[in-house]
Amino acid sequence: MNIVVADDEGIIREGIRSVANQAGLGFSVWEATNGLEALHLIQKFQADIVLTDIRMPEMDGLELLRNLKENGLHVVSIIIADYEDFSMVRQAIKFGVAEYLLKPASVSEILEALQKAAQQVLQMKSKKGTPLSVVPDNRSNEKPITVALKYIDANIRRRLTLTEVSKQANVSPTYLAALFKQKLGRTFLEYLISRKLEIACVLLQRGYQCQEVADYIGYDNPKYFGQTFKRILGETPTEYRSRLIH
């Protein structure tokens, strides 16, 4: 299957390409920096799936979806949008968007959206009588540490425990704890906190208030979130946000 990823931020395109390549679904990925480039690539390579940002130069994501619909191009569409663009997602639904994700989307969220899109493509081809390829489900063959990391990303807004995550990975808590030390060089809790703070930094860079960020990553107590942030990163969330803005 051919996928076109449209986003004006290179790091996001690279991240999505990496997830698609690791999915084991046989994707060929093409990158575009705006909707106009994406439209050209979709037509040139007969893309099956397009994963697009909303705000882009020259042609935005909504205009891209409108063009696809008007030109009769049957492409399964996924949108990745910022929180402030959520109202625009409603407009995208009119153009038949299949999935939408909010930034910063986790690896597991992107992977799940791609898997659903791939299944939808197969269903469309089946109705048209196009020969089907098999989309393998590799989740049962995934290593426990991979399952654990994906589960953490998918549930980053909750209070997770080693016991809960180990059940999802189908291993004992002791074994999973050892895997974290062996593979990542840190304890489960150290990784969990660092992952939450990575997402916190992204949200702070986008101008979110400290209270909003704390809520998003599962800290009920903003003061404790601030203390943890400073202990790990050497400055408070407010200081970090102010430094970037100014």
**By mean pLDDT, which of 6-10, 14-18, 71-75, 189-193 is the weakest?**
71-75
Give the CA diameter of the chain: 60
Distance CA 216, CA 155 (A): 11
Same domain, 123 and 227: no
Same domain, 44 and 74: yes
Same domain, 84 and 195: no
**The pLDDT of residue 234 is above 90:** yes
Output the domain CATH number for residue 240: 1.10.10.60
Residue by residue, DSSP assigns 93-115 as HTTT--EEEESSPPHHHHHHHHH
**The pLDDT of residue 221 is above 50:** yes
> Which residue range(s) make up the domain with 88?
2-128
**The pLDDT of residue 138 is above 60:** no
> Is 30 in a helix, a strand, or coil?
strand
Same domain, 112 and 162: no
Same domain, 21 and 111: yes
Is the CB of residue 29 less than 8 Å from the CB of residue 48? no
pLDDT tens digits, 107-128 = 888 888 888 888 888 877 766 5
Mean pLDDT along residues 158-187? 89
Amino acid symbol at 52: T
**The pLDDT of residue 140 is above 50:** no
Give the chain's domain count: 2
Distance CA 159, CA 98 (A): 30
Backbone angles phi, psi at 161, to 5 degrees: -120, 160
Q: Return the pLDDT at 136.
A: 38
Distance CA 104, CA 83 (A): 9
The answer as to whether 133 is a domain residue is no
